[in-house]
Amino acid sequence: MKVAVFGAGYVGLVTGAVLADLGHQVTLIEVSEEKIALINQRRSPIFEEGLEPIIARAMDQGHLSVTSAPETVVGSSEVIFIAVGTPPLPDGEADLRFVRQAALAIGRNMTGETRQVIVNKATVPIGSANLVEVWVQDGYREVHGRVPSNEWYTVASNPEFLREGTAVLDTLYPDRIVLGADEEWAIERLQELYLPITQQSFEPPPEAPRPHGLTASPVFVTDRISSEMIKYAANAFLATKISFANEIANVSERVGADVVQVMRGIGLDQRIGGRFLNAGIGWGGSCFGKDLAALTVTAEEYGYQPRLLYATQEVNRDQRLLVVKRLQEVLKPIKGRRIAVWGVAFKPGTDDLRDAPSLTIIEELLRLGARVRVYDPIALENLRRLRPDFDVEYADSAEDALDGADALILATEWPSFAEIPLSTIAERLTRGIVIDGRNFWDPNAAVRVGLQYRGIGR
């Protein structure tokens, strides 16, 4: 099938490359010349496990290409994904500027030569499918002086649930594919597009083996508005789960319970489930914060005060700074102390720093007058580029970050940090203080090697 994808970011690039590798004819439409140049060199502009070989293979087979010129692809594409960013505006509302630009470009270049499904894959506020329809009409009208025929296209919603760090696996082996459309032919078209995935009929690529026993991935078909809401509700629920774990952590440590044990204990209940119950410095990343803010704004627009969503966000705001408070309890004063920070990416497996809790923590440490030395296996380059205002030292390795430091804060639980013995951490830190923002280490083991260990909720 001929597919165009607006936006070659985390979502558009992974979706486009995977669909191309499955045999579809995919063209990415991107505005960043830098990204286009990298992709044309068969390199990925983002760090995502297994993605680069898929891009290379799909391009070598002639199934994947990238362009900055929508006019060369829009007219002939049967499915057009809009996967551009929808960042938050200062009031929390989603900024639909890029979606509008993409929709206008689709309208300007629509020819009617083939019937098209325009798909909102980006996370967009409830009702955005209607907006995209209007913008597509505006674009067409600019060129032709009238609106395009209704017969030529329809707008559908197909929210994305991939997780950065496992995006390729999530795209090939999703828990579900949600399709929202008001027209049957659009659903049929999208079902056909995703058939290799829903039937799991493809040969798994070497970089992304199929989970044992998986024989199909379900499709959930619904109306457009419910589909748009599903994405927001899913992220709100996941963020709430983490904030709930943090709420219980804060009570646990006051009464002497260990939140790690508590969450294991409740997670065994199948109604609750054990995932997304890790207490720590809270959630971050490009989606949870902005999607909760957007859902909150939507609720308020319709006269409803979403109290649970307010609380989820409030707990998370406080949680980020808990590690600094912990540090203040054991290291007085913080001014002039050297603090090592391990991990800046908002979670392991990605180089994405958008709304990373580490940034709030580093900001606060600097404000308090600490000297900060940071290490992250892959996100340091992004930190240098995105936060030139941070007066921090960049370490060459995790061990290097510890040298001469009074204390270590763990902000991102990269698995490679587990390879460094706790005894090495104890030897290298001058005061042996470890503030474990992710409950990554066994507190008893840390104490045994002489560390002054503080976790969250234990």
Ligand X SMILES: NC(=O)c1ccc[n+]([C@@H]2O[C@H](COP(=O)([O-])OP(=O)(O)OC[C@H]3O[C@@H](n4cnc5c(N)ncnc54)[C@H](O)[C@@H]3O)[C@@H](O)[C@H]2O)c1
Euclidean distance between CA atoms 400 and 408, whole angstroms: 12
Amino acid at 95: D
Q: Does 18 bind ligand X (CB under 6 A)?
A: no
Pair of tokens at residue 73: 């692809």
Q: Does 11 bind ligand X (CB under 6 A)?
A: yes
* 91 or 203: CB nearest ligand X: 91
* 47 or 375: CB nearest ligand X: 47
Euclidean distance between CA atoms 414 and 345, whole angstroms: 9
Q: Which long-range contacts (CB under 8 A, 24 or more apart) does 287-290 make?
A: 287/123, 287/235, 288/235, 288/238, 288/239, 288/355, 289/88, 289/313, 289/316, 289/355, 290/86, 290/87, 290/88, 290/92, 290/94, 290/355
* 47 or 453: CB nearest ligand X: 47
Q: Does 85 bind ligand X (CB under 6 A)?
A: yes
Contact 152, 116 (CB under 8 A): yes
Contact 11, 124 (CB under 8 A): no
Report the run of H or E that residue 452 belongs to, with start and end.
Answer: strand 452-454
Contact 407, 429 (CB under 8 A): yes
Contact 93, 300 (CB under 8 A): no
Catalytic residue among 51, 55, 287, 315: 287
- As measured in angstroms, the least distance from the Cβ of 350 to ligand X is 8
- As measured in angstroms, the least distance from the Cβ of 110 to ligand X is 15
Binding test (CB under 6 A) with ligand X, winner from 83, 129, 309, 408: 83
Q: Does 55 bind ligand X (CB under 6 A)?
A: no
Q: How far is CA 2 from CA 5, 27, 142, 199, in A?
A: 10, 8, 26, 20
Contact 358, 352 (CB under 8 A): no
* 64 or 102: CB nearest ligand X: 102
Binding test (CB under 6 A) with ligand X, winner from 25, 77, 86, 116: 86
Instruction: Centre a 10 Å sphere on the Cβ of residue 308 and count the other Cβ atoms it contains.
Output: 12
User: Which parts of 246-285 interact with ligand X (CB under 6 A)?
Assistant: none
* 8 or 129: CB nearest ligand X: 8
Q: Does 174 bind ligand X (CB under 6 A)?
A: no
Binding test (CB under 6 A) with ligand X, winner from 128, 227, 286, 382: 286
Residue 89-108 contact track with ligand X, rule CB under 6 A, x = bound: ---------x--xx------
Which of 336, 299, 271, 381 lies closest to 125, judged by CA? Answer: 299
Q: Would residue 344 show up in a list of annotated catalytic residues for this protein? A: no
- SS3 of residue 261 by DSSP: helix
Binding test (CB under 6 A) with ligand X, winner from 22, 59, 64, 84: 84
- As measured in angstroms, the least distance from the Cβ of 6 to ligand X is 4
- As measured in angstroms, the least distance from the Cβ of 449 to ligand X is 37
Q: Does 347 bind ligand X (CB under 6 A)?
A: no
**In sequence order, what are the beta bridge partners of 157?**
120, 180
- As measured in angstroms, the least distance from the Cβ of 27 to ligand X is 11
- As measured in angstroms, the least distance from the Cβ of 92 to ligand X is 14
Binding test (CB under 6 A) with ligand X, winner from 3, 22, 26, 29: 29
The dihedral formed by the CA atoms of 62, 64, 67 and 71, expressed in degrees to the nearest 10: 80
Residue 131-170 contact track with ligand X, rule CB under 6 A, x = bound: -----------------------------x-x-x------
* 167 or 395: CB nearest ligand X: 167
Active site residues per annotation:
287
Binding site for ligand X (CB under 6 A): 6-12, 29-32, 35, 83-86, 98, 101-102, 122-123, 160, 162, 164, 286-287
